[in-house]
Amino acid sequence: MSVLTFRRPIPGRLADVTVLQTTTPFRNTVADQTLWQGDGGLACTGVYKLAQQVLIYLLTPVDSQPYTRAKGTQLIPAVFSGQLRTAVDVRRVFAVSRQQVLSEFFDAATQTTYPDEQLADLQLLNVRIGGGELELDLQLTSRSGDSLVFIAPIGLN
């Protein structure tokens, strides 16, 4: 796993507003625009932006968006249908969902997409089921070689 270093902003580089953030933000960069009144959000780029996009895609049920019906994965429908009772069940459904994510991100990458914002791999490291929650420990690797481990908590109720 490579060590992430902070780079100076690259002119013209797009940054996402952080929708999903950890309890200890990696950078205190206030965004100029926010979706609600308040102190503003954090801006994220690179592997953090990629992790956010991967998690949003992974948690989007397939056929849930009217104009992009093919986007999304089978993970959440499997959760709501009660199919995921053991770690083996989760790993089986995740294997299919992983291929959907990798395919989508491979197709979406362009020549202007920075390598640290292109998905190279997504791995499921650990599964925890209990207390009405499913937690997935995920590791993503970008095409630049940056790697990030994060937790995807999913409510089962």
Does any domain span residue 106? yes
Does any domain span residue 29? no
Does any domain span residue 22? no
Domain that holds residue 53: 46-155
Does any domain span residue 67? yes
Cα four-point dihedral sign 80, 35, 16, 126? negative
Q: Band the pLDDT of 31: cuts 50, 70, 90.
A: very low
Does any domain span residue 38? no
Mean pLDDT of the chain: 77
**Per-residue model confidence as pLDDT tens digits over 42-95:** 667 788 888 888 988 998 898 877 776 678 899 999 998 988 889 999 999 999
Does any domain span residue 90? yes
d(CA 144, CA 126): 24
DSSP run (H or E) holding 17: strand 16-17
Q: Band the pLDDT of 11: cuts 50, 70, 90.
A: low
Structure pTM?
Answer: 0.74
**138: number of Cβ within 10 Å:** 21
Q: Do 75 and 92 touch, CB atoms closer than 8 A? A: no
| CA neighbor of 137 nearest in space, from 59, 73, 148, 85 | 148
- Specify the pLDDT at position 150: 85
How many structural domains does the chain have?
A: 1
Say whether pLDDT at 26 is over 80. Answer: no
